[in-house]
Amino acid sequence: MADTYRIEPDINFIKEVRTLGGQDLKKCFQCATCSVACPISPENKPFPRKEMIAASWGLKDKLIGNADIWLCHNCGDCTAICPRGAKPGDVLAAIRSYAITEYATPKALAKAVNDPKKLPVLLAIPAIIFLVLGFVLKAFGIHWLNFNPGGDMIVHANFFSSWLVDLTMIPTFLGAIAIFALGLKRFLNDIHRNAVSEGKTDKKKIDSIGFLQALIRIIPAILKHNKFNECTENRDRATAHMMVFFGFIGLFIVTNIFFIALYVFQQHGPYSQLNPVKWLANAAGVSLVIGSFLMIKNRLSKTDQGVRYADWYLIGLALALGLSGMLTEMTRLGGLAGISYALYFIHLILVWCLFAYTPFTKLAHLIYRTVAMTYMEYAERK
Domain final residue pick, 54, 71, 103 = 103
In a shared domain, residues 61 and 146: no
pLDDT computed for residue 148 by the predictor: 53
Q: In this predicted structure, which of 78-82, 115-119, 201-205, 324-328 has the lowest mean pLDDT?
A: 201-205
Confirm whether 4 is domain-assigned.
Answer: no
Higher pLDDT, 358 or 158: 358
The closest alpha carbon to 78, from 382, 314, 304, belongs to: 304
CB atoms within 10 A of CB 82: 20
Give the global pTM: 0.87
Q: What are phi and psi of 326, to 5 degrees?
A: -65, -45
Instruction: Measure Cα distances from 248 to 37, 224, 254, 284, 344 in Å.
Output: 32, 15, 10, 7, 18
Over residues 2-20, the mean pLDDT reads: 79
With cut-offs at 50, 70 and 90, classify the pLDDT of residue 379: confident
* Interatomic CA distance for residues 241 and 348, integer angstroms: 24
Domain final residue pick, 103, 121, 145 = 103
Mean per-residue pLDDT of the chain: 86
With cut-offs at 50, 70 and 90, classify the pLDDT of residue 3: low
In a shared domain, residues 226 and 293: yes
* Interatomic CA distance for residues 269 and 254, integer angstroms: 13
In a shared domain, residues 98 and 163: no
With cut-offs at 50, 70 and 90, classify the pLDDT of residue 145: low
Indicate if the pLDDT at residue 304 is higher than 70: no
Q: Is the peptide bond before 106 cis (omega within 30 degrees of 0)?
A: yes
Confirm whether 1 is domain-assigned.
Answer: no
Domain final residue pick, 68, 103, 138 = 103
In a shared domain, residues 98 and 114: no
Q: Tell me if residue 68 falls in helix, strand or coil.
A: helix
* 199-239 tens-digit pLDDT: 777 788 888 898 999 999 999 988 888 777 777 766 777 88
Confirm whether 22 is domain-assigned.
Answer: yes
Confirm whether 5 is domain-assigned.
Answer: no
In a shared domain, residues 217 and 346: yes
* Interatomic CA distance for residues 115 and 107, integer angstroms: 12
Contact 28, 52 (CB under 8 A): yes
Confirm whether 167 is domain-assigned.
Answer: yes
In a shared domain, residues 95 and 112: no
Q: CATH number of the domain that 56 lies in? A: 1.10.1060.10
* Interatomic CA distance for residues 271 and 127, integer angstroms: 26
* 98-108 tens-digit pLDDT: 999 999 989 88
Which distant-in-sequence residues (6+ apart) come within 8 Å of 269 by Cβ?
155, 156, 157, 162, 258, 262
* Interatomic CA distance for residues 337 and 213, integer angstroms: 50
* Interatomic CA distance for residues 307 and 305, integer angstroms: 7
Confirm whether 197 is domain-assigned.
Answer: yes
Indicate if the pLDDT at residue 149 is higher than 50: no
Contact 320, 136 (CB under 8 A): no
Domain that holds residue 193: 107-378
In a shared domain, residues 126 and 148: yes
Instruction: Measure Cα distances from 346 to 102, 114, 169, 180, 193 in Å.
Output: 30, 21, 14, 26, 44
In a shared domain, residues 42 and 120: no
Over residues 276-305, the mean pLDDT reads: 88
pLDDT computed for residue 151 by the predictor: 54
The closest alpha carbon to 91, from 36, 9, 28, belongs to: 28
With cut-offs at 50, 70 and 90, classify the pLDDT of residue 150: very low
In a shared domain, residues 116 and 22: no
pLDDT computed for residue 146 by the predictor: 58
Helices marked H in the chain: 11-19, 33-37, 49-56, 60-64, 68-71, 77-81, 88-103, 107-113, 119-139, 156-159, 162-197, 208-223, 226-230, 237-263, 276-301, 309-333, 337-357, 365-378
In a shared domain, residues 37 and 166: no
With cut-offs at 50, 70 and 90, classify the pLDDT of residue 61: confident
* Interatomic CA distance for residues 31 and 49, integer angstroms: 8
In a shared domain, residues 98 and 133: no
* Interatomic CA distance for residues 22 and 254, integer angstroms: 39
Q: Tell me if residue 362 falls in helix, strand or coil.
A: helix
In a shared domain, residues 249 and 352: yes
With cut-offs at 50, 70 and 90, classify the pLDDT of residue 306: low
Confirm whether 211 is domain-assigned.
Answer: yes
Looking at the 3D structure of the chain, how many domains does it have?
2
Confirm whether 255 is domain-assigned.
Answer: yes
Over residues 8-31, the mean pLDDT reads: 88
Which distant-in-sequence residues (6+ apart) come within 8 Å of 189 by Cβ?
none
Length of the chain as a residue count: 382
